[in-house]
A = this chain, B = another copy of it.
C-alpha cells in the first residue's frame, strides 16, 4: 500500500480492503466452499439469448450499429431514458401528468451504484450526515465512508426503516443544532439489502413527509435505491417513494438492470429532481463522460423488443425456487435451534438471520472459522450497520441464494447448521 502521506484525504477515508476481498481471501483455501455470501445473480439465468437478439437487432442496421459504437451524451441515450421513465410511470400506476417528470431527469449510469455515488458526492460534504437503516447496504456504507460522510443508523424492522425512529433522530439533530448537516435519508425501498424487506406505502409517505417538513435550513433528500424492485416472487408491488413526492424535488430514485437482467451489461439509472440534473451531469462528465453507449443501445433494444418482461418472469421463477430451498432448509435445520430466527423474504436475494445473542458472527469469531471449515461462507451482519448506530449487534448474518444452485443452498445450509450447533455446544 501507498505511504498514507502520498494519498488524498478521500483515499485515506476509503480505507483498505473491501469485505468482498476479505471474504475471498478466506475462501481461497477451500474450493468446495458454498458461498452464501456474495449477492451476485444466478449464472444460469443470465440472458444469453435475449442479449444476442438485442445485439442482432441493432447490428441489422449498420448505421445504428455505428451509432452504438460512437460517443453518446453524458446523460445517456434518450430513447432508453424515455422507456425508463415510461416504465417507472407504469409501474407506479401514474398518469403522465401525475408523474411530473421528463426524460431529461433520467441519467443513465454504470449500475445504480454509480448513481448513488454521483448523487452522494453532489449533495454531501465531509462531516455531513445521512440517515440509513440499521442494517443497510454495506457497499453504500463504504461509499459514504469514502466521502467522509457520517452515516447515522436508524432502527428498522420487518417493514424497513421506522418513521418514528427517523423523526426522533431528526428532533435530536435539531436539538443538537446539527440538522443543517443532514442532507439525505437513504432507503432501499424494495427487498432491501441485507433484510429483503419492502417498505409499505404508509411508511413511504411518512418518510417523504418527514424529509419535507424538516427541510427548513437546507433540503433533506430521500435517496431511494430501488435496485431490487423487479425481484418480486410473491405479493403485490408497492408504488415507489418517488410517487409520494408531491413535486418531485425530494426523492431521487435509483434503478438498475444489474440484478434483473445482467450485471455484466451494467446499466443503471436515476430519476433526479430537476435541480440536481445539472450538477450530477457535471460530475459524471468528469468521471466517465457518459456510460457506454453500446450498453445503452443494447438495453434499449432489449426493452424495445419486449425481451425484458419475459426474462424477468424466468428470473423470478428461478429465484422463487431457490428462496424456497433456502427457507425449507432453514426451517428444517435451523428452526429447532433456539434463538435462531430469520425474516422470510418475498423478493430480493437475501435472508437476514439472527443467531443467539452470544454468538459472534464476525470474521475473527468462532462461527465464521467453523463455517469455513464446514464449507460455507456468509456475510457477518456487523458490516451492514452504519458506523454511528445506536447498537451494532454481533449475532446477525446475511445469506444470499443468488448464485448457488438449490443443491448447493442445501449443502451450505447443512454446513451452517453444523457450524452453529458446534459453536453453541
Q: State the CA gap A300–B149 with chains docked (Å).
A: 38
Which single residue of chain B is at the shortest CB-CB distance from A24? B73
| Interface 0/1 of A23-63, CB less than 8 Å to B | 00000000000000000110110111001100100010010
Please state if A113 and B287 are interface contacts (CB–CB under 8 Å): yes
**With contact pairs A70-B263, A264-B70, A293-B263 given, residues A283 and B43 touching in the complex (Cβ less than 8 Å):** no
Please state if B146 and A282 are interface contacts (CB–CB under 8 Å): yes
A72 at the interface (CB under 8 A from B): yes
**With contact pairs A279-B14, A285-B142, A288-B113 given, residues A70 and B43 touching in the complex (Cβ less than 8 Å):** yes
Please state if A9 and B125 are interface contacts (CB–CB under 8 Å): yes
A1 at the interface (CB under 8 A from B): yes
Please state if B59 and A46 are interface contacts (CB–CB under 8 Å): no
Q: State the CA gap A259–B264 with chains docked (Å).
A: 23
Which single residue of chain B is at the shortest CB-CB distance from A6? B219
User: How far in angstroms is the closest Cβ of chain B from A415?
Assistant: 24
Please state if A294 and B275 are interface contacts (CB–CB under 8 Å): no
Copies of the protein in its oligomer: 2
**A262 — which chain B residues lie within 8 A by C-beta?**
69-70, 294
Number of interface residues of A (CB under 8 A): 76
From A16, A43, A124, A279, name the one whose CB has the most chain B CB atoms within 10 angstroms. A279
Please state if B7 and A286 are interface contacts (CB–CB under 8 Å): no
User: How far in angstroms is the closest Cβ of chain B from A24?
Assistant: 9
**A1 — which chain B residues lie within 8 A by C-beta?**
275, 278-279
From A8, A9, A264, A291, name the one whose CB has the most chain B CB atoms within 10 angstroms. A264
**With contact pairs A114-B287, A122-B11, A218-B6 given, residues A48 and B65 touching in the complex (Cβ less than 8 Å):** yes
User: How far in angstroms is the closest Cβ of chain B from A172?
Assistant: 22
Which single residue of chain B is at the shortest CB-CB distance from A45? B66
User: How far in angstroms is the closest Cβ of chain B from A71?
Assistant: 4
**A142 — which chain B residues lie within 8 A by C-beta?**
285-286
A5 at the interface (CB under 8 A from B): yes
A15 at the interface (CB under 8 A from B): yes
Cβ-defined partner of A51 (8 Å) among B18, B43, B65: B65
Q: State the CA gap A209–B143 with chains docked (Å).
A: 36
